[in-house]
Structure 1
């Protein structure tokens, strides 16, 4: 279609050039026309010239006709250009629709990788698409360690971490149930067979036989990684309980949250709302708001917190002498006051709402929030706390000519929800011009990560 329009435009341009050439020829012929009574020699020359085709000045178009023709050509070019633009827009719409349909087909086909089922347990669920869930159960006599449900996220990764099944009342690395056979009198039999020395030869057992070598009358016994040598004749390897050696709350701890000992190793688990980090020990928060894992309504705002989320609904306050209207999802403005209504003018001009998330026992003092004035009408600007719960945990300081800072002065142990109201007052010769209130809600997590 584009080539067709270009051809039409080229034809129109050719016609325009032809008309201009014709006008030029006519003009030149008119300028070179002979006088009314030429000499005889000139007449003979003129007669010979008349034998060849010439252009009659009377047949040339006039200037108004030529201008009219030019206008028609201009209109034709404008029509062709509009047709070309319309075709281009139509082609773009078709390409966009094709792209959207291709993306939709691709999204329908993507899914998370097939999750493994825990040892001594099973997995429920056969659909692994985005937004679908799988559930885990353990066999009788075993308890589930980790999340019972995992969700396929839009990042094509499963939420939470892979659970495991642990036997009830597991003895761990205890040797109470181990009864080794009587040692042989021969010095060359320092290592007992697995069938005689251990109740179970499974590679996942907490007690295993040692690996002994004999050379020149001496015996050297070793264990696998994660086990230590023990027994009267060094013929036993018992599991090292890393979780017991490095408990929580001490330097060099293995897991940030929960440590589960396994034969020869250990495994870290995180609470609900967290994912195990790449290092296998730390916990990272899951953003339920971004991943659309929340149940907030359309009239609520989802606020991500450490280990969860909060559904908040911002409502303008009802005051006796002042009315407010919501001008944005997080801001309310006061309606104009009646002339002479001092009680109304004393009410805040605007109220802003902000929500913050923090971990438990965060160190203090710490800057939480800053309030600034875009412009100052009066000669004085004051900042202070207007009220709210948890007043003893907060303080407001002046940090600039037009800026006030909300500070956390004492640590807060979670879980907790606190509020602070920062008031900014504008005065002119000690006369109040306006009050602006900022309500800060703080969601404190139950954990320190």
Structure 2
């Protein structure tokens, strides 16, 4: 989402890096360009005005003007203020410590992604060892009830039974009693939306709030709608005691204005963000990490957390045992790639590595990592079990057969084997380091650097 914004800010900062010392005039010109970049990104104009004023006040200080690296100082200030703008330092965790069952109510306009977010949130909570109950309270869109039931079946999470003939407030009240009697510690209410805000909708939502007293009232906003999402969020916040925001479709190509503006306008923290269509693509929002992504600095902490969530300790231990027994083979090479794929798309992972995203842009002819991995998988899967265990037996005729079987060229097979041999040499060096070396690469969440 922030690619365009990141590129434009990078272009602004490049001009700064060309100066050994900065003057107030140069900083003023930089602030003017930053203001234009943020406005083009659909950030609320009042938010832009306050942001630029704050950065300007800090940037013209003597610490910056007299610094040997003033450009870095200005970038540091922008990063800190971007993080503060999005709520850095605030507690944006879900309030789950109350007496169970804890009630979480999702609200917002139709089409923002409430129902899907309910399923994603339920999956996330279950992975955190909670026992959630999904409640479909949108009786005006029959497909919403069936959609939530379908999500529940996919996830193996119970969905409270309701029909379009029931009243939303009654559904929520009955669901709460059902959860109390059946041992559910968390309830997620999927409420109705409209194409626009109206009195009937707000009256119904207020009735649900009075009936179940939710610990969290989360406004679901479509990040692709930009300032419209911010305006609607402000309207909801005026009539409901919102506790936070879920931003959906953060993996899209919108300009990012909603993500940068919504906390400043509503005063409510962004708690979760949807980063893809898959049901596990719901992440906790970290303002400081998002600021780093916007400025092209990567997000290594989120990358580590993804690895820890994707790779179980038992799987890592089993991989280590196989490496000790059989050595590093094409079979274990393939297994490592499967582990990496569980973490998400390679494009999204590369953006979390400092500098990697920029390198990809500078080499437009370079093949996309996702396609490259698919090619490698096809080549290895076209090999026999014996060939995977011992690549040295791959003579010319075998390589030709593998190329035909995988729909690739012999040159592709040769290139893979060359890369594999290099990786194998590195693994041998790690093994010589003993258990610490292997655990450093294959400990919980560890991944081989391919």
Q: TM-score, normalization: structure 2?
A: 0.24
Structure having greater relative contact order (Cα 8 Å, sep ≥ 6): 2
The structure carrying a bigger helix percent of its residues is 2
The structure carrying a bigger strand percent of its residues is 1
For the pair shown, the structure with the greater C-alpha radius of gyration is 1
